[in-house]
Amino acid sequence: MSSSHTYPHEPTGVETRKLGMWVFLSTEILFFGTLITTFMIFKGRDFPGMKLTDVYDIPFTSISSFILLMSSLTMVLAHNALEANDQEKTRVWLLATAMLGAVFLAGQIYEFTEFYHKGFELGTNIFSSTFYVLTGFHGLHVFIGVVLLLALWSIGQRQKGLTLEGGMNLEFVALYWHFVDIVWIVLFTVVYLI
């Protein structure tokens, strides 16, 4: 028994908070996995009433999907800017990412409203139930992402600006944002295309 080194000790060499973030995202996969599985199970079964194919507008959703994809690009640009310690550019790209996310959300709200007007409601049948809960759960993730981005942006307005270490970290938000984007690609394929 002897004591020599000091705290903190990270035997894996990975920063503890980043490790925590990865663990969090791995459980997120299970959240979406369960939702998608339910959706797939019921998709092939018989149910009364309308289907998504009766109401949807693929070009519209494709465009909003593209917008969300672009936001991943601006997120990367924000990260690069911060690595170069260009606070001005970081803030601009952060804001752009948040705005693209907000546009996607607006598109989703518009789409839901349209579907409702056409009679495809939450309780119409099992298909509509799974559809709204699945895409809505993703929408909630996008919303939380936008809030996080705006919070980062407002922190960036302060004197000292953003850093790559400490506090609410741009890297974590970026990780989360990319994750949410990737999930959408899966959802878009599963729900709309297949």
How many CB atoms lie under 10 A from the CB of residue 16?
Answer: 10
The residue within the footprint of other proteins, chosen from 40, 41, 63, 164 (CB under 8 A), is 41
Considering only 1-9, 50-58, 68-76, 182-190, which stretch makes contact with other proteins by CB under 8 A? 1-9
Q: Could you tell me if 63 and 114 are in contact, meaning their C-beta atoms sit under 8 angstroms apart?
A: no
Per CB under 8 A, 53 contacts other proteins? no
Per CB under 8 A, 38 contacts other proteins? yes
The residue within the footprint of other proteins, chosen from 6, 53, 59, 194 (CB under 8 A), is 6
Question: DSSP character for 54?
Answer: G
Q: Could you tell me if 181 and 67 are in contact, meaning their C-beta atoms sit under 8 angstroms apart?
A: no
Question: DSSP character for 57?
Answer: -
Written as six digits, the tokens of 163 are 């850093």
Per CB under 8 A, 47 contacts other proteins? yes
Nearest to 52 by CA among 128, 137, 134: 128
Per CB under 8 A, 186 contacts other proteins? no
Cα torsion 109, 64, 45, 33: sign: negative
Per CB under 8 A, 116 contacts other proteins? no
Per CB under 8 A, 28 contacts other proteins? yes
Binding site for other proteins (CB under 8 A): 1-12, 14, 16-17, 19-20, 23-24, 26-28, 30-31, 33-35, 38, 41-42, 45-49, 122-130, 132-133, 137, 147, 151, 155, 158-160, 166-168
